[in-house]
Structure 1
């Protein structure tokens, strides 16, 4: 029986990851945080001091990376890096790393392998346009920049980091520009995706909206 894919795309701070995880729990689907995969490779590159132009080393690390999702925890090569991949250093570098064509190809293949074995809810920036263009359900999240910055600041606080909201806003703007203008798999809404503005919504409302759509109640 063909597996179901629910794709949720959108920029940082729109609530897509938390929504995707909770939706997956309600449906008993596997949740795949594609952004965490790129963050993990970015963390690995930073820890091993691999320069961004060393394509051979980047490809080698990506191919050999053992990526596992365990509930809300993320494991890279057997090590729990859930907190480390959310650091400011990784956040500031992940967009430029994600733009590497060779890396995207490897991680897209890994993402597609998950969907061959499980019903999945996957969030990212190109899930509905590139990774799974034929996904049964596609959603695209948008949100006011101030709200996104406030949410991202809370994420940092939850991980023990205090970052000024002004700095976060600048980084969000910078990342949006990189993500939307990059040559490989830019951030954009799929033509058949349902747009969801999360500015004035709490997570539970976002989850219920998607759940009703998936269940055919709306």
Structure 2
């Protein structure tokens, strides 16, 4: 049985960088007792591996080969690359910017597609990213497109980085974020767009709890229970 004929439900949460989709996906998955997929982590892991292996980031096929050979495991908050926890490292802006660049490569997206779909298992999956509802899980029962004002997102990312001990400059983050938004929206392969049947949620003025409640309310409105 392939992922697109699976009986296991999927909720997708797509949106621009730092919109809070990762946090919301984890909280929704926790509320439902489901598995979670942070698809962006796979691109960041590929970017980190490219950096570490000295691979030419402009060589699309070489980058795709790195992705195919990734030794990755997710254990709670731990993200293991070849057995080492790199959860903090992949959140560095240099890794994120490279991930945004290589994510435009069709060969890389193809290499990661089956790996992402393999996360679909009982009792259900919450998947966050930029093309979860449009490309990876087009049959998802509920599709959320999570947005927030770019300044609000930059402030969130700045706070997150400082809390993790990284230096961060708000004006620089704001400039990088606008550039990444434009790159994600205009790339030829799987651009960042809301699926035609997605529910758009603006989290600019919502707390994490309020945003989670909005998503669970949408899920309940489809006739499903919002708890395990």
1:63-97 CA deviation, whole Å, 9 max, x = no partner? 11122221122122222110010112102211111
Q: Which among 205, 208, 218 is matched to residue 213 of structure 2?
A: 208
**Equivalent-residue separation in structure 2 for 1:141 and 1:7 (angstroms):** 10
Structure 2 gaps of 5+ residues are: 1-5, 224-228
Report what 1:13 is aligned to: 18
Q: Which of 172, 176, 186 is the aligned partner of 1:171?
A: 176
Q: Distance in 2 between matches of 1:68 and 1:118?
A: 20
> Greater shift after overlay, 189-198 or 154-163?
154-163
Give the alignment of 1:152-163 within 5 angstroms: 152-163=157-168
Post-superposition CA distance 1:151-204 (Å, at most 9, x none): 010121122112110000000001001100101100000010000000000101
State the TM-score, normalizing by the size of structure 2: 0.91
Q: CA RMSD in A?
A: 1.6
2:64 to 22, 38, 59: 59
Aligned pairs for 1:43-192 within 5 A: 43-116=48-121, 119-192=124-197
CA contact (8 A) 1:32 1:122 kept: yes
Any runs of at least 4 consecutive aligned residues in structure 1 with deviations exceeding 4 A, and if so which?
A: none
The 1:47–1:6 alpha-carbon spacing in structure 2 relative to 1, beyond 3 Å, is: same
Q: Counterpart of 1:215 in 2: which secondary structure?
A: helix
Structure 1 segments unaligned to the other structure (5+ residues): none
Which residue number corresponds to residue 3 of structure 2?
none
Taking structure 1 as the reference length, the TM-score comes to: 0.95
Q: Is the 8 A contact 1:41 1:61 kept in 2?
A: yes
1:26 to 27, 31, 44: 31
Give the match's secondary structure for 1:115.
coil
Question: How many pairs align?
Answer: 218
